[in-house]
Amino acid sequence: MYKETISFIKRLFPNQEFVPLHAPCFIGNEKEYLNDCIDSTFVSSVGKYVDKFEDVVAVYTGAKRAVVCVNGTNAIHLALLLVGVEQNDEVLTQPLTFIATCNAISYCGAHPVFIDVDRETMGLSPEKLEEWILDNAEMRGDALYNKGTGRRIKACVPMHTFGHPCKIDAIADICLRYSLELVEDAAESIGSFYKGKHTGLFGKIGVLSFNGNKTITTGGGGMLLFQDEELGSYAKHLSTQSKLPHPWEFVHDHIGYNYRMPNINAALGCAQMETLPLFLEKKRQLAEIYQGYFSKKGISFFVEPEHCHSNYWLNAILLDNEKERDDFLEYSNSNGVMTRPIWRLMNKLPMFEKEQCGDLSNCLYFEKRVVNIPSSVRL
């Protein structure tokens, strides 16, 4: 069974000794824009590509303002600071995520609280979220507090797993009712829409990533998406050492961060944005091929949830149990095809094992079964 699947995947990605999970693809104006940066000497944090990249992503997603960062992890950190997450606050999130989400919460001195995901989306479950709030929290004045720890619960960070949007409108509604700031970790979901609206636009701030393995890449990079232009300008200020504009003086009005994306990375981003529509088309085609193949084999292939248009960043299959998953991982990785299990749940890592958890039965279900399979753009 595995043997056939692996040779099928090899035929999809021919002439490669080792098929990677997700390789970047540079077929547009990347070299031209990079050369332009070098010729102009504007390779660092100031330059036309920085502004252009922010504008292009804002127009594509429909955000009022977009602000680039050196990476997605920094962008989440900044987003949490901007919505007012402080030391000892709690932030509700899913344990089925990449470590960046929880690291960023920790950088603020805050604690993650782990809530289950949905079976249909692999993203934060609005039902489980509200259930946990009703059992564990209460409103005091206009803020939500944890009855057990006494800590303020300031924000909620859902994640759109592998590019499949979670039930973000229901989550946004809960956040509104319980005075929670909504920050979307949309790092994996550029090009993914929920009910026609781009992911990352449902809360106060959304975050994209342009790491080397993401749908488009700037080498490393991240982006904050805003509906509130003023908050976006403040984000830019914080990300550039909080320096007040002045022709020669160094005056800073806040503890700032050096989270600016250099112009050379933004140049790559501008070129990648031009090919994004083609990438998305090719990735959808690949997902359709996989879906057809795995449905014939009786293996469950994860498809976009209802009301969603997914970017199909990383394709996933669900095997019957942990043993099958491990056998498949062993066979594929030693036979030239890179496959990966889903992340170890955050609440099982030493840094987070003492944090609070709701019922996590769906996370545990996915943790044992999910395998990611090669998902690069095929030309």
Q: Report the catalytic residues.
A: 214
Q: Closer CB to ligand PLP, residue 112 or residue 294?
A: 112
Q: Closer CB to ligand PLP, residue 144 or residue 269?
A: 269
- In this structure, what token pair is assigned to residue 9? 């995947």
**Contact status: 184 vs ligand PLP (CB under 6 A):** no
Tell me the HSE value of 208 on the side-chain side, using a 13 A CA sphere: 32
Which of 33, 53, 98, 328 binds ligand PLP (CB under 6 A)? It is 98
Which of 181, 185, 355, 367 binds ligand PLP (CB under 6 A)? It is 185
* Residue found by looking up tokens 């320096």 in the block: 243
Which of 101, 192, 263, 362 binds ligand PLP (CB under 6 A)? It is 101
Which of 82, 117, 159, 224 binds ligand PLP (CB under 6 A)? It is 159
Stretch that binds ligand PLP, among 133-141, 184-192, 288-296, 344-352 (CB under 6 A): 184-192
Which of 57, 66, 100, 317 binds ligand PLP (CB under 6 A)? It is 100
Q: Give residues with Cβ within 8 angstroms of 183, minimum separation 6.
A: 76, 79, 80, 83, 155, 156, 157, 203, 204, 205, 206, 207
Residue least distant from ligand PLP (Cβ): 72
* Residue found by looking up tokens 């939500």 in the block: 144
Judged by phi (left if over 0) then psi (alpha if -120 to 50, else beta), residue 317 lies in: beta
Burial of 61 (0-12, 13-18, 19+ CB in 10 A): buried
**Contact status: 71 vs ligand PLP (CB under 6 A):** yes
Query: Maximum Cα–Cα distance for the chain, whole Å?
Result: 68
Q: What's the closest the beta carbon of residue 159 comes to ligand PLP, in angstroms?
A: 5
Q: Closer CB to ligand PLP, residue 209 or residue 265?
A: 209
The CA distance from 257 to 359, in Å, is 37
Q: Closer CB to ligand PLP, residue 124 or residue 137?
A: 124
Contacts of ligand PLP in 263-282 (CB under 6 A) = none
Q: Closer CB to ligand PLP, residue 190 or residue 267?
A: 190
Strands 300-301 and 90-93 turn out to be unpaired
Contacts of ligand PLP in 201-240 (CB under 6 A) = 209, 211, 222
Q: What's the closest the beta carbon of residue 213 comes to ligand PLP, in angstroms?
A: 7
Q: Tell me the Cα Rg of the chain.
A: 21
- CB–CB of 199/193 below 8 Å? yes
The CA distance from 165 to 267, in Å, is 28
The CA distance from 38 to 267, in Å, is 11
Q: Closer CB to ligand PLP, residue 211 or residue 332?
A: 211
**Contact status: 339 vs ligand PLP (CB under 6 A):** no
Q: What is the DSSP letter of 84?
A: T
Q: What's the closest the beta carbon of residue 97 comes to ligand PLP, in angstroms?
A: 5
Could you list the residues that contact ligand PLP (CB under 6 A)?
71-73, 97-98, 100-101, 159, 185, 187-188, 209, 211, 222
